[in-house]
Chains A and B, each alone.
Chain A
């Protein structure tokens, strides 16, 4: 059979893990020879043997390095751990070269030093290579207490006693009510998934160690369809029979219990919210593992900063803050690059509720000039936050259930245009609208406001353009 050049080059790359042992073994032998020679005061290997063996050392190190390079070409490693291994290994190759040159030149002490350094550096290169295949902490893992392999996000375990004191007595923040996700769902991912889909490895480009990443899915699409467990790839693969090829986790790995799988399905079907509280009084916690409330989100720092901090600072908008929104189909658009003012449009994400808006809007508050919440699930709770947006000029609440909460917007200083089409309003809304000093235009089609209410509004704000959806048409004359 004919194989292309590439196939053979890839094959050579795969020999790397075998070839690396040759220079290391030879090196140990050479050092041992030299030590033996020093102790016995005899010239253990003679000059010719030393030259030959030093050449073999260099040649084997070179072969290992070449194979490593082929492996890199094939796999395209990019992470930092790889670069460490590569450069330490190249240093090792250089030291082997030095040893060979020293042997040729018969510089005994330089030869000895080169061998000694090569031994140290070679050991390090070997360790870093091992870390690549077995994980960063491979070498020292046996020393860690068992707890270290708990779900990501548990407090650091290096010094348990004082840590305990601090958390229990000094800081002791009032524990927020645990969310469904943090209490039940994140522990499942942590126990069964994060090993391969987590901070260290992202097999299939999927990571599940934070809530945002769970919802974001992969670059090919979401694995969780909020509200639709049946069509959620993640749930489907977990639910497949164990003997199916695509079953997750892989058959030889620990498997979640049926109750845990069911819990996952319930959570997705209920909207896969990261903020939803624990459903009251149903099944007991599915896992014994005690997870702190923010277990899922703790290890990375991508959780949005506290709203208060952000609102005060108002620095340039960090595009990284938008990434989780964009990943969930919320549209963000910079309308005014000079003033760094943005339009946030939640409409494409139909499952948007108040909690989601509050969580995602808060960090962006100083930059929002237009906000569209039309046709989402918001019911008004988020208007308290919306009312604090300092630059908000246009607000679209059409076809939402925000009517009863409209009072939160009272006296907003810069709001120019307010869309309430299809929002059920009561007569109190007139007073709120009249209180908005900058309001130029309001849409009140299908709000249930009567003619009297509209007349009152026009009386109180004559310049306000009120669009009640009445099909008024231009007069004609012959």
Chain B
């Protein structure tokens, strides 16, 4: 049988072709495919595989503070004074409207309303003020810089799919993370550091699993995946050369390994080999850049104080906020901060107090520090959980204690900087903070709006995979211009 008619060989060729397209291997096939998608007056962005912004961006980078476990909007942002009258009264069916329950509360006999025990005060913003909880005094004090969206809603009711939805635009795992899309679209602004960095703070309340795939690159080339930096010890493991290995030695070793890997890449056309090569090289460059990054000796006392006493505690939210500023200052495109421990099914008051004490001052300090350094103007800051929490108590309700279950139908997030309208609140919920009554914003809308601020038409930031163009917003999403400055 001649080669040309051997179907297995044809199959191999076809597969290789698509893999080459998907991986952008060695520029040739992949670049040709992408080149068509992103052809723009004859040239693309140097260093930005996705071609760079489509139009003039307001923001060049993102700090996304994800509150993993989902903080209670009722106790922090969504003030419901009428609810006091409903203490220990069952949630009316007219409000619940048959909403599905998680298995954690579906067995409950009653769904007694639990008004927040925390006091709210009005803080000045660019409108007629915003009511905010006593738990977050520092954040409340900068309310004139923040844009609160009270009308977020999501489709998922459990942590994994809900975080996956926020991070990747779909509930099923496997799609690229938001940060990976930004890395792909904008490229690196500093070759010595990863484009997408993840920092995690362990929570003080009930914690849920945090999967590394939340910052995975899905079908995008592996160099766009988030690089997790550790909170304690070496920020990146095995970054230091062993004793006796000089930097030139390391260079020669990498050159040799690189040459072998390139041969393998040419043979197999496997994009993962290219990823591996890129990661080795990134690690080599980070050997020089990370010690400078993590050396805080150039921070003055006043700045450290601004972030609060925890700032010297490695891995704390304060330390990670400071690190986030240092990262964006050095050109990192997307910093993902995770604060764990918001999943307060029981003992919410105690847990949320501890959580807020850990995040309130640092997150406000981050905004102020970015602002005075001129960075907030083009840095987009986003704060929020993966869903909200129920108005009815999970477990025993008392005057001093209650718990709240997962609630996807409404919750609050806030944004700042990077072209976001400062000092406003957007959207409204009913008196039980159970249903949205005005201006619902879904996760796709949020993604579309954030991409818009970064200079992308969300319908044109596309990567071809499995036979169709893939987007962060899939086939949904609209830009919410009401939120833009």
Contacts and interface: CB of A to CB of B under 8 A. Distances in A.
Whether A and B are associated in the same complex: the answer reads yes
A171 interface: no
A269 to B, nearest CB: 16
A296 to B, nearest CB: 24
A348 B331 contact: yes
A421 interface: yes
Given A329-B191, A333-B48, A477 B372 contact: no
Given A233-B248, A467-B372, A322 B254 contact: no
B478 interface: no
A297 interface: no
Nearest to B364: A473
A432 to B, nearest CB: 17
B313 to A, nearest CB: 22
A333 B372 contact: no
B190 A348 contact: yes
Given A233-B248, A347-B330, A477-B122, A336 B372 contact: no
Q: Which of B45, B48, B129, B143 has the most CB of A within 10 A?
A: B45
Contacts of B377: 417, 441
A63 to B, nearest CB: 25
Nearest to B48: A333
B16 interface: no
B140 A467 contact: no
Interface string A326-342: 10010111111110110
Contacts of A474: 123-125, 140-144
B373 A398 contact: yes
Contacts of B251: 220-221, 233
Interface in B121-143: 121-125, 129, 140-143
A156 B360 CA distance: 71
A421 B372 CA distance: 7
Contact of A475 (B46, B48, B123): B123
Contacts of B53: 333-337
A345 B332 CA distance: 13
Contact of B47 (A326, A467, A478): A326
Contacts of A348: 189-192, 330-331
A476 interface: yes
A378 to B, nearest CB: 16
Contacts of A331: 47, 188-190, 331
A396 B188 CA distance: 19
Nearest to A470: B372
A345 B60 CA distance: 12
Given A348-B330, A398-B373, A467-B371, A478 B57 contact: no
B215 to A, nearest CB: 23
B110 interface: no
B115 to A, nearest CB: 18
A47 interface: no
B46 A471 contact: no
B141 A335 contact: no
A388 B129 CA distance: 44
A322 B377 CA distance: 26
Contacts of B455: 335
A468 B192 CA distance: 31
A348 B188 CA distance: 11
B43 interface: yes
Nearest to B188: A331
Contacts of A343: 60
Contacts of A341: 56
B141 A333 contact: no
B357 interface: no
Contacts of B122: 476-478
A109 B373 CA distance: 88
B147 to A, nearest CB: 14
Given A231-B247, A419-B374, A477-B121, A337 B330 contact: no
A83 B414 CA distance: 63
Given A345-B189, A345-B331, A474-B141, A337 B54 contact: yes
Q: Which of B43, B192, B306, B368 has the most CB of A within 10 A?
A: B43
B55 interface: yes
Contacts, number: 121
Interface string A313-324: 000100100110
Contacts of B258: 220
A326 B251 CA distance: 21
A45 interface: no
A341 to B, nearest CB: 8
Q: Which of B40, B122, B372 has the most CB of A within 10 A?
A: B372
A127 B129 CA distance: 86
A231 B373 CA distance: 33
A221 B46 CA distance: 17
Given A337-B41, A419-B374, A478 B52 contact: no
Nearest to B125: A474
B186 interface: yes
Interface string B201-234: 0000000000000000000000000000000000
Contacts of B57: 335
A453 to B, nearest CB: 17
A212 B60 CA distance: 29
B255 interface: yes
A246 B372 CA distance: 51
A332 B374 contact: no
Nearest to B144: A474
Contacts of A375: 329
Nearest to B285: A221
A316 B373 CA distance: 33
B249 to A, nearest CB: 10
Contact of B248 (A231, A337, A340, A445): A231
Contacts of B192: 329, 348
Contacts of B331: 331, 345, 347-348
A443 interface: yes
A375 B306 CA distance: 22
B284 interface: yes
A353 interface: no
A421 B373 contact: yes
A476 B140 contact: yes
Interface in B447-478: 455
A236 interface: yes
A118 B187 CA distance: 55
Nearest to A325: B46
A336 B55 contact: yes
Contact of A476 (B123, B252, B374): B123
A305 interface: no
Interface string B37-78: 000110101111000111111001000000000000000000
A326 B368 CA distance: 32
B330 A467 contact: no
A334 B52 contact: yes
Given A322-B46, A347-B331, 16 more contacts: A220-B251, A221-B285, A246-B252, A333-B45, A333-B186, A335-B56, A337-B53, A340-B41, A341-B56, A347-B330, A419-B374, A422-B373, A441-B377, A443-B373, A473-B142, A474-B123
For the complex of A and B, list the 6 residue pairs with the smallest distance between their C-beta atoms, beginning with the closest: A419-B374, A473-B141, A469-B372, A443-B374, A445-B372, A348-B190
Interface of A: 220-221, 231, 233, 236-237, 246, 316, 319, 322-323, 326, 329, 331-338, 340-341, 343, 345, 347-348, 375, 396, 398, 417, 419, 421-422, 441, 443, 445, 467-469, 471, 473-478
12 contacts: A221-B284, A221-B285, A231-B247, A329-B191, A337-B40, A348-B191, A348-B192, A443-B372, A467-B372, A474-B124, A476-B122, A477-B121
